[in-house]
Structure 1
Amino acid sequence: MGSTAIPATMRGVYLPGDSTAVVREIPVPEPGPGQLLLRVGASGICGSDIGYIYREHKSHRGVDGPAYQGVVTGHEPSGRVVAAGPGVRQFGVGDRVIVYHIAGCMNCDNCRRGYQISCTGASRASYGWQRDGGNADYILVEETTCIRLPDELSYVDGALIACGFGTAYEGLRRLAVSGEDDLLVVGLGPVGLAAAMIGRGMGARRIIGVEPSEQRRSWAEGLDLFDATVGVEAPGEVIADLTGGRGASTTIDCSGSRAGRSTAIENAAEWGRVSLVGEGGTLETEVSDTLLHKQLTLFASWVTSVPAMAQLADNLVRWGSRPEKIVSDRLPLAEADAAYRMAAGAGTGKVVLVADTDLDAS
């Protein structure tokens, strides 16, 4: 592998909050102590970016004011290390890495457990929200947020692991999905598709998907991840028929909607386990017959930990699974505005920004 000189400037994508994406020329940063400079190979567009940054700048997590601090967007990057700052120990130039999207204080209990997503320190910053993110030619990252990208996986695979697949994995880990379980996935956007792929790897004997959009349902059916997919018209009847009247022993809602959560809960079997990972909306359910008498266990999770994300990358290799399978659109950085319009519209699968050149060949 050869080396490439690092330029003085690069392109970065910004979101003004008016449903547009703007590419600007900015300086390439230099890594400080404990930091790495990556040449970005791929960077995914997340649904949370659409809801909280792209259309308008909203507050998030109960914090006053807009969550977005006018930085380069994108919290789902993977890439290759091109420079390392003083004190870096684990990674070096040429290493391929996935970036966990929260830089935490590394001192609070959550950070010490690897859940930097739940960091309680004042220095907590998310790539693409409070510090420059991955929708750029280069990104400056903390070594503590980096995970090795296995050689068997592409940069696009790594970008998907960086958020959506990690979110689905955490939800399914909480459920302890195994070969004894039927898995019901509600909401077949990118996170729902990730849940199906991971559920298959974890050994679920039957995977059923629920999705109101006929376009998304058709796309999902073509990926060969589900044993059956159904719409929202009387899904309970179809699910009952597929599960011998029992319902699914494990269910996960990836829709973030009240209706979706209700579907996941109502179609869980007795003693079933329900995972809630979709952001936003509300939860409304009858308690006695639906929850108590069925002896259900509900789990709620927010993304995953750094160790679990590393475990997921290794598991995907072991399972022979490729996250990039769920990508419907790959666009170069120069076409970021078109990419965001696709992600914000009635798209089918995942939208990803990719590097102009093959990083591993450069």
Structure 2
Amino acid sequence: MVEFFSKVAVEAKASDVRELLKLTKIPGMISFAGGLPSPDAFPVEEMKGVAVDVIDKHGYKAMQYGTTEGLAELRTLIKDIMAKRHVNTDISNILITTGSQQGLDLCGKVFINKGDKIACESPTYLAAISALKPYQPQFVEIDMDEEGMRLDHLEKQLQSEKIKFIYTIPDFQNPSGRSMTIERRRAMVDLANKYDVLIVEDSPYSELAYDQEAYAPIKSFDTEGRVIYLSTFSKIVCPGFRVGWICADEKYLSKYIILKQGLDLHTNQFSQYMIENYYSKYNMDQQIDQIKSLYRTKRDAMIEAIELHFPKSVKTSKPAGGMFLWVELPEGIDSKALLPKALEQKVAYVSGEAFYPNIPKKNTMRLNFSNSTVSEIHKGIKILGEILSEALL
């Protein structure tokens, strides 16, 4: 049977996170594994009325085929959102995607030839690795510090390698939780101009800033149309609608549109109408503030529990926003090897090695705090603390 598969299909592996998410269905499982928004953040009651409004106002149009570019009303809304994020653009520069994940896949389709070099943070978003890997690039990992991707390391690679594009998550990065400073955002654009390279800015978490105002995106410093900006409604409305967007110069976006046509013709029309109607009817600033308050409490609970229960030799990030904490264990401790013990006690997390495209660092793990309750966070972290303490004996 294998002879029928393509090389890409033969080499494809299931996502560690998607596999672990199956375990969340087990009664009593405390999952710090997936990047799941809290169900408490979903506007369920509001969406009941929105659904009726969409059907009453738009009827058959909401159920009919649409344009590949996406609903004009929603793209106009996104234009306004981008303006609030300090990016002045036009709807001709906006393409609606089926979640940010489709945007990542389209980046591979549009730009990557086999062997092309892609610079990314180390560690980086594992689903970006999964999306881009079938196009057979070479990932060039760039070290990070507390201020994001290290631009001195990046420039050394740009000097010695022909990099096709830089992939970065500058806001509360998944998985590390770190944010790139304004100075580095501006300097990254300068490097891209100097070395003739593109930047793919993946920004799903920028609205989830708990201790500071959200930084202006890299795209806001774009002087030559080099930045392709990806974002989504998944973290601030609901992920099940699968609605995201790309904002890019028309010379690039035109290719995204053509290639998207071969994927799905267009993103779910009804979902697009739902989101546009929801924004027109409700105060989104208030909705986002409520989500931030909810997640800030959970983040603080996880940090407090870690300080109480984890061994002192374990290093943990303290993100100013987003949905994740990054944990570094002492050298020689393999977090994946400890996972079965955690699962036996009904606690799940993601081993950090999945976030490195080349050489994995096995003594790391990612913990999600947005989906669990505060009591589950305290209970689960206590169990993990006991497992880690035993491993360090």
Q: TM-score, normalised by structure 1?
A: 0.33
Higher RCO (CA < 8 A, seq sep 6+): 2
- Which one has a larger percent strand, Structure 1 or Structure 2? 1
- Which one has a larger percent helix, Structure 1 or Structure 2? 2
